[in-house]
Amino acid sequence: MIRILPLINPITVFALKGGTAINFFVRDLPRISVDIDLAYLPVNERQAALADISLSLTKISGKIEKTLPGSLIVSKKFHGQNLLKGLIIRWNESSVKIETNPVIRGTVFGTRMKALSPRAQHLFEVSADIRTLSSAELYAGKICAALDRQHPRDLFDVNLLLKNEGVSEETKKAFLVYLISHPRPIYELLNPNFTDIRSVFENEFRGITVDDVGYGELVTTRERLVALIMNSLTSEDRQFLVSVKKGKPEWDLLGLENVALLPAVRWKLLNIGKMGRVRHGKSLARLEDYLLR
């Protein structure tokens, strides 16, 4: 993976996000991550974005073939279209996935250039500077992932955030944007049904961290995160979320520019507008009861 990342950086429509960005470039490699999640930066119409993503991934694929002779590259395509949305690279018994999200396009706080962490440089005997989303936005996406899929990897990353910097005002603002961009209802992310993650912990997580982390600590992190978010939401934050659910966002309450232009936000509002009156009324009442009670 480390040999692939520098090949992506010249493709300026992408920035690294997710666990690899956090653990290799924000933190000093507290856990291993093998997937490359890319944010598509331009804010343009969907079909133009899909075509650009596909072309950019084709360029990356060509670079990989030249840099890693003998590698096998499998293309993943958008449903019903002959356009690339991701790549799977197999080389020397290792496998790396490159993935994009065609819905969440654009950024809240722009991008940053970050250096590969000291431990990673020492371990892999290489240095690299990579374009990533801002730390606030990286963690906003990670918090949403932790609330949604509740995977131990996401909870581990959030646990280190809570132990160190905490959730800053900037991170909270970015989280609100990701929250209203998410396909799940706002209420379900803020008040998730906790799932049993013991099997996933044992089979997919144990052994990938530098320091041992117990199952109980990650379960506690999940509970702390939900409580912390609720306690951090101001009256303005709550009114803003309710206004989004009404389909009439009061952007001044959020205090960020150009969020209304983000494709994922526009898509969410479009779907809210398509809800039947009764179903929408029940969903809105549930959120109001949770946030404004």
Q: Where are the domains of the chain?
A: 1-133, 135-293
Using pLDDT thresholds of 50, 70 and 90, give the confidence band for residue 293. confident
pLDDT at 1 over 90: no
Q: How far does CA 281 lie from the centroid of its chain? A: 30
> Are the beta carbons of 96 and 35 closer than 8 angstroms?
yes
Second CATH level (architecture) for the domain 1-133: Roll (3.10)
Average pLDDT over residues 163-186: 98
Over 90: is that where the pLDDT of 60 sits? yes
Q: Over the chain, what is the mean pLDDT?
A: 97
Q: What is the pLDDT of residue 16?
A: 98
